């Protein structure tokens, strides 16, 4: 028994639930014979991977679904050993080069070389190229992206790349111009509702439309998350009721409590307590940019007008520093401390004005 997310993942371009026009275009692209490199981008949970798998199936048929997991070893020029996990079928290989951090260039070159140098057998029935899927391209180093640029041209005859990322801002223009960019927007709330209802119907459950809508809204238009939430609801209580509580992740509640603590009291003692909570969040592998964004949304709702703009700019500034720095905790704490000082000054001023 698998999760609903995987169980009801569409496997054919024709069966996708939304962005049907785009699916048509992709189908034409496959049938046109001339298949370019693709750059697929969009927010998480929008269905990028699903679309890629559908494309592969369209290209190679059902054989592509026989997946195997491999551990590959590479040696960097410096002598360091690298290990990376790849998912592959006979026709494609999927790698996440950013797993190995700074040495991603080596992985890209090695993987592409091995794939590109082996010829596809029986080209009469199959395509004469293989597909390499690189995920999280926006987290590749500049060095690796430049290396990619050369390899993309060099091995055009035997392999195609499908690059997958959240945003094109961090992909260098040279790569963007070599690929056909495909944007996958997040599904709208209505589209998500219909998907949720369909899945429930297939499971033999009835989902009230009100609840479906609440789940869709709460998930932030992330379909994967919505489906997981829906399944959680099912476990919690069935039959569904209209006003059933949609469970949130623990860390979200925890983050909200933390934000409330910051607003309640501004003192070094409180800062110390908040630091403890931030450590707790970080040690549970919550990405630091999500923490900062979550804090911001909560804090903002307690501020007014001008202060909002100020706090937002501050958050942007500290988040930037955080990305450049090594230890996330310093920057998170600096952000909290700064907010406390601004907020206290603001409260004092309003009190002064009141008198």
Partner 1 sequence: MEAFLKGRTGASKEGTHQNATAPGTSGKRDKQNRKTAHTPWVEKYRPRSIEDVAYQDDVIAVLRKTLQGADLPNMLFYGPPGTGKTSTILAAARELYGADMFRDRVLELNASDERGIQVIRDKVKNFAQLSAGGTRPDGKPCPPFKIIILDEADSMTQPAQAALRRTMEKQSKTTRFCLICNYVSRIIEPITSRCSKFRFKPLANEILLKRLKEICEKENVKCDEKGLEVILDTSEGDMRKAITTLQSASRLKLGDTIVQQDIYEISGVIPSEWIDKLMAACQSSSYEKLEAIVKEMMLEGHSAGQILIQVFDSVIPSTDLNDKQKSVICERIAVADKCLQDGADEYLQVMDVCTVIMWQKGH
Point out which residues bind partner 1 (CB under 8 A): 25, 28-29, 31-34, 36, 41-43, 46, 116-117, 119, 123-124, 128, 149-150, 153-158, 167-170, 176-177, 180-181, 183-186, 220-221, 289, 292-293, 296, 300, 305-306, 308-309, 312-313, 315-317, 319-320, 323-324
Nearer to partner 1, 274 or 315 (CB): 315
Nearer to partner 1, 270 or 293 (CB): 293
Instruction: Report d(CA 333, CA 277) in Å as an integer.
Output: 11
For residue 118, the minimal CB distance to partner 1 (Å) is 10
Between strands 130-135 and 180-183, the pairing is unpaired
For residue 330, the minimal CB distance to partner 1 (Å) is 16
Instruction: Report d(CA 208, CA 348) in Å as an integer.
Output: 48
Nearer to partner 1, 169 or 326 (CB): 169
Nearer to partner 1, 77 or 276 (CB): 77
DSSP string, 170-210: GS-HHHHTTSEEEE-PPPPHHHHHHHHHHHHHHTT----HH
Residue 173: C-alpha distances to residues 37, 39, 105 (Å)? 14, 12, 18
For residue 38, the minimal CB distance to partner 1 (Å) is 10
Nearer to partner 1, 182 or 200 (CB): 182
Each as own residue / partner, the long-range contacts of residues 278-282 (CB below 8 Å, 24 or more positions apart, any chain) are 278/329, 278/332, 278/333, 278/336, 279/329, 280/254, 281/251, 281/254, 281/255, 282/328, 282/329, 282/332
For residue 242, the minimal CB distance to partner 1 (Å) is 26
For residue 300, the minimal CB distance to partner 1 (Å) is 7
């Amino acid at each position: 028994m698998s999760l609903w997310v995987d169980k009801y993942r569409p496997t054919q371009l024709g069966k996708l639930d939304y962005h049907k026009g785009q699916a048509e275009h992709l189908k034409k692209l496959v049938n046109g014979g001339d298949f370019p490199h693709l750059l697929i981008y969009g927010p998480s949970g929008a269905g990028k991977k699903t679309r890629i798998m559908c494309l592969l199936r369209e290209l190679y048929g059902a054989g592509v679904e026989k997946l195997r997991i491999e551990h590959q070893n590479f040696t960097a020029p410096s002598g360091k050993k690298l290990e990376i996990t790849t998912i592959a079928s006979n026709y494609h290989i999927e790698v996440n080069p950013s797993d190995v951090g700074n040495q991603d260039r080596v992985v890209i070159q090695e993987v592409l070389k091995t794939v590109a140098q082996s010829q596809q057998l029986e080209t009469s029935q199959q395509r004469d190229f293989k597909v390499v899927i690189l995920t999280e391209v926006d987290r590749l180093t500049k060095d690796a992206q430049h290396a990619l640029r050369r390899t993309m041209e060099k091995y055009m005859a035997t392999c195609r790349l499908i690059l997958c990322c959240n945003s094109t801002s961090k992909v260098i223009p040279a790569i963007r111009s070599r690929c056909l960019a495909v944007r996958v927007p997040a599904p709208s709330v209505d589209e998500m509702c219909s998907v949720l209802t369909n899945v429930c119907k297939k499971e033999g459950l009835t989902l009230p439309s009100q609840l479906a809508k609440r789940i869709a809204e709460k998930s932030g238009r992330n379909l994967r998350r919505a489906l997981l939430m829906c399944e959680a609801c099912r476990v919690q209580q069935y039959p569904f009721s209209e006003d059933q509580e949609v469970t949130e992740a623990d860390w979200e509640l925890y983050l909200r409590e933390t934000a409330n603590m910051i607003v309640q009291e501004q003192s070094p003692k409180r800062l110390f307590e908040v630091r403890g909570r931030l450590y707790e969040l970080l040690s549970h592998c919550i990405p630091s940019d999500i923490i900062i964004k979550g804090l911001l949304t909560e804090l903002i709702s307690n501020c007014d007008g001008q202060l909002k703009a100020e706090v937002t700019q501050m958050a942007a500034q500290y988040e930037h520093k955080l990305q450049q720095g090594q230890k996330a905790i310093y920057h998170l704490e600096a952000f909290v401390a700064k907010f406390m000082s601004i907020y206290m000054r603001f409260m004092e001023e309003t009190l002064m004005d009141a008198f």
